């Protein structure tokens, strides 16, 4: 299986777990490398904005002398966005609206898959 196919399979394996709607692998410049989100979702817009969100918060964390940002969770009225730094990329996970979420399980699953993903990119 090619690297691209392995990445796609890994992202797709998270769908449905812990209320996950889908995932994106985003390069630091906001380019979407791979996605398991439904086709009606504007993945390029989410990718670009996610890269900006993560990068800006990483700079803020560093200025507070708290190290580098590794993971970030945002709770919105539409669901959760969870970010995981994966070897110079961002794994962005979106939950479906109206789902009961086990946040600890979500974070643990994303971290596990994010470590695997880090070895592929």
Question: Which of 80, 113, 82, 72 has its CA nearest to residue 98?
Answer: 80
- Provide the strand spans (E) within the chain: 20-27, 32-35, 71-76, 79-86, 89-95
Residue 1 has pLDDT above 80, yes or no: no
Kindly report, residue by residue over 3-21, the tens digit of the pLDDT.
899 999 999 999 989 899 9
Kindly report, residue by residue over 31-78, the tens digit of the pLDDT.
999 999 999 999 999 999 999 999 999 999 999 999 999 999 999 999
Q: What pLDDT shows up at residue 121?
A: 87
Question: Which of 96, 97, 110 has its CA nearest to residue 37?
Answer: 96
Stretch 90-103: mean pLDDT: 91
Radius of gyration of the chain (CA): 14
Q: Are 18 and 10 in contact (CB under 8 A)?
A: no
Q: Which two tokens stand for residue 80?
A: 């959760």
Q: Which two tokens stand for residue 17?
A: 């777990």
Residue 85 has pLDDT above 90, yes or no: yes
- Tokens 């994010």 — which residue? 114
Q: What pLDDT shows up at residue 6?
A: 93
Residue 2 pLDDT level (bands cut at 50, 70, 90): confident
> Which residues have C-beta within 8 Å of that of residue 103, sequence separation ≥ 6?
73, 80
Q: Which two tokens stand for residue 50?
A: 């996610």
Model's pTM, two decimal places? 0.91
Q: Which domains does the chain have, with CATH numbers?
A: 3-120 (3.30.450.30)
């Amino acid at each position: 299986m090619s690297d691209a196919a392995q990445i796609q399979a890994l992202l797709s394996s998270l769908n449905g777990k812990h209320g996950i709607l889908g995932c994106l692998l985003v390069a630091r410049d906001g380019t979407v490398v791979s996605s398991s989100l439904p086709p009606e979702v504007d993945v390029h817009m989410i990718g670009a904005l996610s890269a900006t969100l993560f990068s800006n918060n990483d700079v803020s964390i560093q200025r507070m002398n708290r190290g580098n940002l590794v993971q970030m969770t945002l709770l919105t009225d539409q669901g959760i966005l969870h970010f995981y730094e994966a070897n110079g990329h961002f794994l962005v996970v979106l939950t479906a609206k109206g789902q009961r979420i086990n946040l600890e399980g979500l974070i643990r699953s994303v971290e596990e898959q994010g470590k695997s993903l880090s070895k592929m990119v």
